[in-house]
């Protein structure tokens, strides 16, 4: 009888969850450059200003064909920039010159709400007499005379007129390039569009994940969209510390680090933390 009781006591102790035995799982996450990376634009969300946002200028050869207006409400988080284009004969933008580092990969863009027309992100500069020119576009039939009576908007590839869509790209500056001129606006088409939360900053980072304190069986790293960025293979038994560097990850997201231990415990950590 005493032997039976002794066996039962030993089994109960062995099955005790790790958190109850005092074992501590430690998840450390860092990045180089650290996230979120700095935004090199001034007043990127158009929160400062009166009729026009501070630190942004108008760029067009025909200002009478465009209406630029800083709207204090109804943006993604507050204010936004609205541009109306009355003609197809000219392009018109709001622009800002930004200092950049040579031969560096940047992420650039802005959230765009397009009711109709041709919205353009235009990044340009002159470097030693050569023209640096990078563009990204978003097009809608919303202001086309044929829509909606002859061509319903849903028949086209036009974005929903009330939805914010990221208009952006990655670009690498040239050697000896020290600045770039960011333009947001309308390109030779009648239309109406909004811009908010513009961004220009470093495009890629290296994530470093260190897990210790318990026997680890699996580590998974996902981005905010749920895509797997890195996943460990089956780890050797008794592995109680893992260090992993994951290079060349986009900076425009957050990362979920999921840990599974031999005891069946699962833990999650986000980097960066709550916004």
| Position 158 pLDDT exceeds 80 | no
Task: Phi first, then psi: give them for residue 100, nearest 5 degrees.
Answer: -135, 170
CA 60-172-37 angle, to 5 degrees, is: 95
Q: What CA dihedral angle connects 99, 105, 111 and 116, to 10 degrees?
A: 100
pLDDT digits (tens, 9 = 90+) for 179-205: 999 999 999 999 999 999 999 999 999
Partners of residue 92 on adjacent β-strands? 186
- Per-residue pLDDT band for 161 (boundaries 50, 70, 90) equals confident
pTM reported for the whole predicted model? 0.83
pLDDT digits (tens, 9 = 90+) for 80-131: 999 999 988 999 999 999 999 999 999 999 999 999 999 999 999 999 999 9
* pLDDT for res 242: 93
Across the range 237-266, mean pLDDT stands at: 93
- Residue 72, CB-side half-sphere exposure with 13 Å CA sphere: 4
* pLDDT for res 141: 62
| Position 162 pLDDT exceeds 50 | yes
Measured distance CA(134)–CA(177) in Å, rounded: 14
pLDDT digits (tens, 9 = 90+) for 222-247: 999 999 999 998 788 888 999 999 99
Measured distance CA(160)–CA(189) in Å, rounded: 18
| Position 6 pLDDT exceeds 70 | no
Kindly list the domain boundaries of the chain, sorted by start residue: 57-202, 206-218+226-253
* pLDDT for res 234: 78
DSSP secondary structure of 77-88: SS-EEEEEE--S
pLDDT digits (tens, 9 = 90+) for 17-55: 333 334 689 999 999 999 999 999 999 999 999 999 999
**Architecture label for domain 57-202:** Sandwich (2.60)
Cα–Cα distance list, 42 to 46, 63, 99, 143, 199 (Å): 9, 23, 11, 31, 10
Helix ranges (H only) for the chain are 2-14, 18-21
Partners of residue 222 on adjacent β-strands? 228, 256
């Amino acid at each position: 009888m005493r032997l039976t009781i002794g066996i039962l006591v030993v089994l109960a102790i062995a099955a005790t969850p790790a958190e109850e035995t005092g074992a501590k799982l430690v998840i450390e996450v860092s990045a180089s450059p650290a996230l979120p990376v700095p935004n090199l634009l001034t007043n990127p969300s158009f929160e400062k200003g009166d009729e026009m946002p501070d630190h942004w200028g108008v760029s067009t050869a025909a200002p009478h064909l465009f209406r630029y207006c800083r709207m204090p409400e109804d943006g993604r988080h507050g204010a936004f920039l609205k541009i109306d284009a009355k003609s197809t004969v000219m392009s018109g933008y709001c622009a800002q010159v930004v200092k950049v580092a040579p031969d560096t990969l940047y992420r650039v863009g802005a959230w765009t709400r397009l009711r109709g027309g041709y919205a353009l992100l235009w990044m340009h500069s002159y470097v030693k007499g050569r023209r640096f020119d990078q563009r990204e576009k978003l097009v809608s039939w919303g202001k086309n005379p044929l829509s909606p009576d002859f061509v319903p908007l849903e028949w086209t590839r036009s974005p929903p007129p009330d939805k914010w869509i990221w208009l952006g790209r990655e670009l690498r500056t040239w050697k000896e390039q020290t600045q770039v001129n960011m333009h947001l606006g309308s390109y030779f088409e009648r239309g109406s569009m909004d811009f908010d939360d513009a961004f220009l900053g470093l495009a890629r980072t290296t994530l470093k994940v260190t897990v210790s304190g318990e026997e680890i069986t699996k580590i998974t790293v996902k981005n905010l969209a749920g895509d797997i960025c890195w996943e460990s293979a089956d780890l050797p038994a008794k592995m109680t510390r893992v260090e992993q560097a994951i290079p060349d990850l986009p900076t425009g997201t957050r990362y979920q680090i999921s840990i599974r231990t031999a005891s069946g415990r699962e833990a999650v950590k986000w980097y960066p933390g709550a916004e």
